[in-house]
Amino acid sequence: MSLDTQIRMTKGRGHLYNSILETIGDTPTVRINNLGPSHVTLYVKVEAFNPGASVKDRLAIGIIEAAERSGALKPGQTVVEASSGNTGIGLAMVCAQKGYPLVVTMADSFSIERRKLMRIFGAKVVLTPRAEKGFGMYRKAAELAEANGWFLASQFETPANAAIHEATTAREIVADFAGSRLDAFVTGYGTGGTFAGVSAHLRRERPDTRIILTEPANAQLLGSGGRQERKDGGAPAASHTAFEPHPIQGWTPDFIPQVLQTALTNNSYDELLPVTGADAIAWTLKLASKEGILTGISGGGTFAVAVKVAETAPQGSVILCMLPDTGERYMTTPLFESIADEMNGEELALSQSTPCAQFAAE
């Protein structure tokens, strides 16, 4: 082991923390060495380093602490929110530490691992029929809040969503690339909070950086140009007509969130590029096997678009891609369908190549 390696392994994170919540943010920006064209430099921001293993930890603490400051959330009050998983997991972690009961509504189409992760943190998970899509779980959360006097986290509308990314994620990016070029920033969207907060900050601090937004090819809510029906206050009134089910969990619910809509009006993007579910899964697998980076399908989708941007980028360009979460919460999704449980022929041959602790050929 080299001295440099020993130093890296023993350095730690610098100090003691008063709670797990203090470890949210300051995620690493990592260079890609084996994938992508050689004439550009690709980086990924690995949000799986958050304690709840996703970018939504930032959103969760941002919403809860903003509500505490405003008085909208009372001590011991139940929090309720609709989530495809990562926001729910983040809220479950934050609420466990702060002592708030949590109820999450989630369509039953999302991965079982997500339900279990929320429940192990102490949250209750109320499933809604997949046929009613994201809009169904959204309405159920609002209905439960009204019926019980609970605090509705409102991740799709609250200004606290974009604000936490502008205050943390965006500033980390600017600091990481201080004194060096950053030609493009690539992200997808769920609520739109990451895009909203980072794009607002980059427009001010790094106006030379192109902002690339991506969405599923078969659910192009923005690319379709279709209008989102809304109620007073910005809540969606119905599913978007361009939505179709897609495998990129956490991306593109069946409506355009108000957080995203506000960002499109104020900051917008330079280019919108769709990605197929198949490409998202393929690049997720490549990131794991070629770079040792385990991300979810949304990370693979974002990276697929980053590679596409890189292919036509000028010599020496530097591109940053968001990786929102870890791949471990996708075990029961199409991402792991090609990953075997049992030994294949080559593995069995290795087992039988020496005499001890081996299985017989079937």
Whole-number Å distance between alpha carbons of 187 and 323: 8
Position 208, amino acid? D
Position 151, amino acid? F
Q: Where do you find CATH 3.40.50.1100 in the chain?
A: 3-49+169-336, 56-152
CATH number 3.40.1410.10 is the correct assignment for the domain at 56-152? no
Side by side, the strands of the sheet bearing 151-152 are: 124-128, 102-107, 79-82, 151-152
**pLDDT digit string (tens) for 269-283?**
999 999 999 999 999
pLDDT at residue number 1 = 46
**pLDDT digit string (tens) for 201-244?**
999 999 999 999 999 999 999 999 999 999 988 889 999 999 99
pLDDT at residue number 168 = 98
**pLDDT digit string (tens) for 78-106?**
999 999 899 999 999 999 999 999 999 99
Torsional class of 164: left (φ above 0), alpha (ψ -120 to 50), beta (otherwise): alpha
Token pair for residue 53? 């293993």
Torsional class of 57: left (φ above 0), alpha (ψ -120 to 50), beta (otherwise): alpha
Residue of 123, 267, 159, 253 whose CA lies nearest to 207: 267
- Which residue positions in the chain have pLDDT lower than 70? 1-13, 362
Q: Could you tell me where the DSSP H helices lie in the chain?
A: 3-10, 56-70, 86-98, 112-120, 133-148, 159-164, 170-176, 193-205, 258-266, 277-286, 297-311, 345-352
Question: Residues with catalytic annotation?
Answer: 56, 298
Identify the CATH number of the domain defined by range 3-49+169-336: 3.40.50.1100
Taking a C-beta distance cutoff of 8 angstroms, is the pair 323, 275 a contact?
Answer: no
